[in-house]
Amino acid sequence: MFNLRNSLLLRTQAFIDGEWCNADTHKTFAVKNPATGEIITQVADLGVTETRRAIVVAARTQQVWAQKTAKERSQLLRAWFDLVMQHQDDLAQILTIEQGKPLAEARGEIAYGASYIEWFSEEAKRIYGDVIAPPSVDQRILVIKQPVGVVATITPWNFPCAMLARKIAPALAAGCAVVAKPAAETPLSALALAFLAQQAGIPGGVINIVTGADSAAIGSELTGNPLVRKLSFTGSTAVGKQLIQQCAPDVKRITLELGGNAPFIVFDDADLDAAVAGAMVSKFRNAGQTCVCANRFYIHRSVYAQFSEKLIAAMNLLSVGNGMGEGVSVGPLISLAAVKKVQVLVDDALARGAHIAYQATLDLTEAAQGNFYPPTLLLNVSPDSALTRQEIFGPVAGLIAFDTDQQVIAFANDSEFGLAAYCYTQNAKRIKHLSEVLEAGMLGINTGIISNEMAPFGGIKQSGWGREGSLYGIDDYVSVKYLCERF
């Protein structure tokens, strides 16, 4: 199944205190290839006891890690980045086989994840304090920034490399140690990254990876253990709300990157070819399984027909299949349950008056084995359908026509989510207005791709708290201490 240059990257044990370990019970869980349904391997199935042990290790190690100079931490992160990029092809292969995304996209995710490690290796040296003007001449006010302590991370299956790197790298840069719980569907990418961190010389205990199928039990320990001072979670809003409650008794710091429902707005003056290109990449990246995917398409009535024709032509070029296959651009969904959920949303839209303008034909032998959903375009979608209210997480685009700016802004903001939004227009005045009124943490203006390590990633409303990446991304991992000196 694998053809790795470095087979040591394929780890099936958890990683605690610099050691590769089995569950105390010796239990394992199966990791499956979503494109074929085959079991890839068995992975150590840890529980509460081992999670608690990892937290104690991290608490001890964190004290030592925080004493290193910023430059030492920076150099170790840089060495890790270099190794990740050197192993990009192998890591991409592991990612595709456990997650399903096409190999080229997986290579892109490895580079994307690595870019956070590189970025925070640089930021590690720039965690500056302040000197503030005091209220009297015999005083001096200083501000220093200190690591928050042990950080727990819970990461999703849709970006098993990038989301882990986006959380661990700033934590390490700030002087924190980490206990990471990767999604049970995709633990292999996390373990491979931990292996490379070890090779890079990052001391044992600074990064601990707790693999396990019982996410609720491990999550309870991560949120309930007072030694953990911060949680960083990427996942659904429903689980995020639960984690907030679990973190409340200890008043833990929390960074949350939760669900999205991105509007994608095409105005009458848009460059339609650019809008279609943006729609394709925003909608079909990772088979539609990203939090920032275009989820609702609002197209000005005067360009609706032209836009949909161009979109159908572009969708016709998509090739659905096993991500390891040559030329495949849309892989499987993560599970059969995910396929069924998308079908429920499509059925609801159809019942409310939408019709299918395009649907790819699947190769039935492959579709029967894997969790595939055909790229689908729905026209005449009702603004009230579940497809526009819920995160689709699948390769389905639903188009709604609009007539005025005011109307489309109201449509776009009519959601409890506020992660990303996209708009296509050439009008500078309109861009300025949209920039101010659209309720989202991130706005793509004439672009369908907004993610990079230099920009602050995060949402407003029920899409989360805090920002990841960029110069803001370190803030959630440090505490501000004010020193009042009197002379």
Which of the residues are catalytic? 257
6-14, 289-297, 340-348, 428-436 -> range binding ligand SIN (CB under 6 A)? 289-297
Q: How far apart are CA 188 and CA 46, in angstroms?
A: 15
Residues 6+ positions from 117 with CB-CB distance below 8 Å? 77, 80, 81, 84, 165, 169
Half-sphere exposure (Cβ direction) of 134: Cα atoms closer than 13 Å:
14
Is 158 or 388 the residue whose CB approaches ligand SIN more closely? 158
> Residue for token digits 């790298």?
169
Q: How far is the CB of 2 from ligand SIN (least distance, A)?
A: 25
Is 159 or 373 the residue whose CB approaches ligand SIN more closely? 159
Among 386, 375, 316, smallest CA distance to 350 is for 386
Query: Interface residues for ligand SIN in 230-259 (CB under 6 A)?
Result: 234, 257
Q: How far is the CB of 321 from ligand SIN (least distance, A)?
A: 22
Among 99, 186, 189, 290, binds ligand SIN (CB under 6 A): 290
Taken in order 182, 393, 88, 323, the sign of the CA dihedral is positive
For position 158 contacting ligand SIN by CB under 6 A, the verdict is yes
Judge residue 249's burial from the number of C-beta atoms within 10 Å of its C-beta, 0-12 exposed, 13-18 middle, 19 or more buried. exposed
Is 165 or 408 the residue whose CB approaches ligand SIN more closely? 165
Report the residue closest to ligand SIN, judged by CB.
451
27-35, 188-196, 284-292, 318-326 -> range binding ligand SIN (CB under 6 A)? 284-292
82-90, 183-191, 286-294, 331-339 -> range binding ligand SIN (CB under 6 A)? 286-294
Q: How far is the CB of 159 from ligand SIN (least distance, A)?
A: 5
Q: How far is the CB of 261 from ligand SIN (least distance, A)?
A: 13
Is 47 or 156 the residue whose CB approaches ligand SIN more closely? 156
Written as six digits, the tokens of 471 are 């110069």
Query: Could you tell me how many residues of this chain bind ligand SIN (CB under 6 A)?
Result: 10
Query: Interface residues for ligand SIN in 412-451 (CB under 6 A)?
Result: 451
Q: Where are the alpha helices (DSSP H) in 150-232?
A: 162-174, 187-200, 215-224
Task: Give the strand order in the sheet containing 178-181.
Answer: 19-21, 14-16, 207-209, 178-181, 150-154, 228-234, 253-257, 464-465
How far, CA to CA in Å, does 160 sit from each of 155, 271, 429? 7, 34, 40
Query: Interface residues for ligand SIN in 450-469 (CB under 6 A)?
Result: 451, 457
Binding mask of the shown chain, residues 92 to 111, with x at each position contacting ligand SIN by CB under 6 A: --------------------
Q: How far apart are CA 159 and CA 104, in angstroms?
A: 14
Query: Interface residues for ligand SIN in 179-218 (CB under 6 A)?
Result: none
Among 15, 159, 284, 422, binds ligand SIN (CB under 6 A): 159
Q: Are 100 and 439 in contact (CB under 8 A)?
A: no
End-to-end CA distance of the chain: 69
Written as six digits, the tokens of 237 are 């809003």
Binding footprint of ligand SIN on the chain (CB under 6 A):
158-159, 162, 234, 257, 290-292, 451, 457
